């Protein structure tokens, strides 16, 4: 009898692990930055390298930092939605152009529209490493106090915006008494 009991117990434990794995979201990777101050950076702007864009530019307002590149298929998928968010003045969106060709990136924005207040050019990817970026697109929700509220990996859509971002924005605005404007 014990000869069958041990294999059955092992099978039971494996079944529990597999069942738990089926309920996980494979696209969700927790970020160690959540609830902490956003990594400090200052980079040349994509369109005008004589100007800079840095973490201090996002302080004092709720904002998004969107990591994108022209070689990124998912970035093209989400680009129209980012344009819509920007056009509706929902929330300031800052870009981090990651490991890209500057000329190609500027052409991309000129052709497809530029949803960004400004984009920083991270040609060597060093700033993205500090932010824990390992793929594009990635979008960070940054609080008024400069803390990282949320990190989304994958193209941003209206459904994701409404289910994941809006509740966090509303919660943040209640805590920090900010005006969420068109966010509701």
Residue 145 has pLDDT above 60, yes or no: yes
Q: Helix, strand, coil % (nearest 5) of the chain?
A: 40, 20, 35
Residue 2 has pLDDT above 90, yes or no: no
Tell me, what's the pLDDT at 71? 97
Write the burial class of residue 26 (CB in 10 Å: 0-12 exposed, 13-18 middle, 19+ buried).
exposed
The span from the CA of 163 to the CA of 161, in Å, is 6
Q: Which domains does the chain have, with CATH numbers?
A: 35-183 (3.40.30.10)
- Summarize pLDDT for 11-48 with one digit per residue, the tens: 767 667 666 656 655 555 566 677 789 999 999 999 99
The arithmetic mean of pLDDT across residues 46-54, rounded, is 97
Tell me, what's the pLDDT at 29? 54
Mean pLDDT of the chain: 88
At 178, the pLDDT band (50, 70, 90 cuts) reads confident
| Predicted TM-score of the model (pTM) | 0.82
Residue 120 has pLDDT above 50, yes or no: yes
Q: What is the gyration radius of the CA atoms in the chain, in angstroms?
A: 20
Residue 180 has pLDDT above 50, yes or no: no
- Summarize pLDDT for 60-106 with one digit per residue, the tens: 999 999 999 999 999 999 999 999 999 999 899 999 999 999 999 99
At 183, the pLDDT band (50, 70, 90 cuts) reads very low
At 163, the pLDDT band (50, 70, 90 cuts) reads very high
Q: What angle do CA 106, 31, 17 make, to 5 degrees?
A: 130
Q: What is the DSSP string of 90-110?
A: -S-EEEEEES--HHHHHHHHH
The span from the CA of 134 to the CA of 153, in Å, is 9
105, 136, 140, 104: which is closest to 119 by C-alpha? 105
Q: Are strands 118-122 and 138-142 parallel, antiparallel or unpaired?
A: unpaired
- Report whether 142 contacts 40 (CB < 8 A): no
């Amino acid at each position: 009898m014990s000869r069958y009991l041990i294999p059955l117990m092992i099978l039971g434990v494996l079944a529990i692990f597999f069942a738990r794995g089926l309920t996980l979201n494979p696209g969700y990777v927790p970020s160690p930055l959540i609830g902490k101050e956003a990594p400090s950076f200052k980079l040349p702007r994509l369109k005008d390298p004589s100007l800079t864009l840095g973490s201090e530019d996002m302080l004092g307002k709720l904002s998004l930092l969107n990591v994108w590149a022209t070689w990124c298929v998912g970035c093209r998928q989400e680009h129209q939605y980012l344009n819509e968010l920007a056009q509706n003045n929902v929330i300031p969106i800052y870009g981090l152009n990651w490991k890209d060709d500057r000329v190609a990136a500027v052409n991309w924005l000129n052709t497809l529209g530029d949803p960004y207040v400004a984009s920083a050019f991270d040609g060597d990817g060093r700033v993205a490493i500090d932010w824990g970026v390992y793929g594009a697109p990635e979008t960070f929700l940054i609080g008024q106090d400069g803390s990282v509220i949320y990190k989304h990996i994958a193209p941003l859509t209206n459904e994701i915006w409404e289910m994941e971002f809006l509740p966090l924005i509303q919660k943040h605005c209640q805590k920090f008494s900010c005006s969420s404007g068109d966010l509701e």
